[in-house]
Structures are given as C-alpha cells and as structure tokens.
Chains A and B, each alone.
Chain A
Amino acid sequence: AQTVTQSQPEMSVQEAETVTLSCTYDTSESDYYLFWYKQPPSRQMILVIRQEAYKQQNATENRFSVNFQKAAKSFSLKISDSQLGDAAMYFCAYRSAWRSDSSNYQLIWGAGTKLIIKP
C-alpha cells in the first residue's frame, strides 16, 4: 500500500523569504500523480500544484514550484517570496494512475505541515 509522509508538523518563514516543505512517499508503482493542497483558516482545501510521475520536468505555478525526485520518492514544495496569505496547512497527496489490474484510485494523504508567515 502507498504511504505519504510529511515530516514537518510546522514551519515558519519570514515574509518575502523562501521556504521548502518536504513530502516523501512509498510506492511500488511507476505511474502516479502527486498533489500539494493548501488549507487556509477558512478551511477550504484548494489545489496548489500537481505533478505527473512520468514527467521529468518539475511543475511550477507562479511562486510555487516542486522538486520531484522520483528515485528518492520525494516531492517537496518550494514557496518563493512568501506572503501573509500563504499561511495555511499544506497537504501532500498521492494518487495511482490508471492500471488495467487495479480499480483503486483513492487519494493518499500526508499528515500536513502548518506554515506560519512572520511579518
């Protein structure tokens, strides 16, 4: 079974600085998808960025980028120029790609990292 580990319960960063949130996962599959979600105090979960495992190029979305190391099974999120609005819980998630011998495409979640932005 797949597992997702976020080893940092809490991280803090000075406004305008860069912070990296770590995520590692365990799987025997070769094709899958990885996601980072953000949950601000409003509790609305929203997608930050996604990565397809077959793509070598790291995904980027404006100030958000990932460092995807497939061999190491690592999927870290880098937030550049941190802003007060980035303060939230961040969750990493894994999802299997389609396989003919499988029927389970459930999302597997990490425990989350609370990101604090210091003004």
Chain B
Amino acid sequence: GAGVSQSPSNKVTEKGKDVELRCDPISGHTALYWYRQRLGQGLEFLIYFQGNSAPDKSGLPSDRFSAERTGESVSTLTIQRTQQEDSAVYLCASSLLWGNTEAFFGQGTRLTVV
C-alpha cells in the first residue's frame, strides 16, 4: 500500500488477555517506530527498529511488552496480560534510515482494556 497500515483500528480486550497489534510499513522503509499515546498526551516512545541493527527497546514499559520485526517488513507489538493502564492509542511510523525524509505514521490502534 501507499502508506503505513495498522490493524486493528480498534481493539477492546479483557484485563489479563494478550493482544497483538500489527504494523505494515511503507515498502523500503528500514526504520520503524512504535509509540504509545494516551488521550491528549504526547508520544511515548516504545521501540525503534533500524535496519539490521539491534532494536532500541529502551522505551518498553515492562516485560509484558514485546515487539518483533522480520527484515524490513511487518512488525507486531504484543502486550501480554493486559492491564487497564495499557489503554491508549498505539502508533506506528516508518521512514528511510537517514536523511531529511520524514516519518510516516499509521492511523494507530486504539486499545481499550476493560
């Protein structure tokens, strides 16, 4: 596709369940970011994949959060044993590795833990 695609758009899950969020980046974009955004707040960095280098996982808030990316393709963010405080919009962005090109964002996944 032409842009960054995230699925699902909305997800309601019960506390304690695991969820998997998907991001399809723009083809050829070697950099991929995951962010969490609570209502009315800024971007909270979660994880950054940069080409074949080891990902920067420094933003993951707990060991319940993990993310994978195979090569330069799809990435999945997994949240295990979801808690109510995990409720937020999860945004994915991709970009070329360097240069003045911007990051392109998906529409995000709104996660609600009930």
Interfacial residues, chain A to chain B (CB-CB below 8 A): 33, 35, 37, 43-47, 50, 52, 89, 91, 93, 96-98, 103-107, 109-112, 114
Contacts and interface: CB of A to CB of B under 8 A. Distances in A.
A47 B102 CA distance: 7
Given A43-B89, A47-B102, A97-B98, A105 B108 contact: no
Given A35-B102, A105-B31, A45 B93 contact: yes
B42 A110 contact: yes
Interface of B: 31, 33, 37, 40-43, 45, 48, 50, 53, 56, 89, 91, 93, 95, 97-100, 102-103, 105, 107-108
B108 A52 contact: no
Contacts of A96: 98
B98 A98 contact: yes
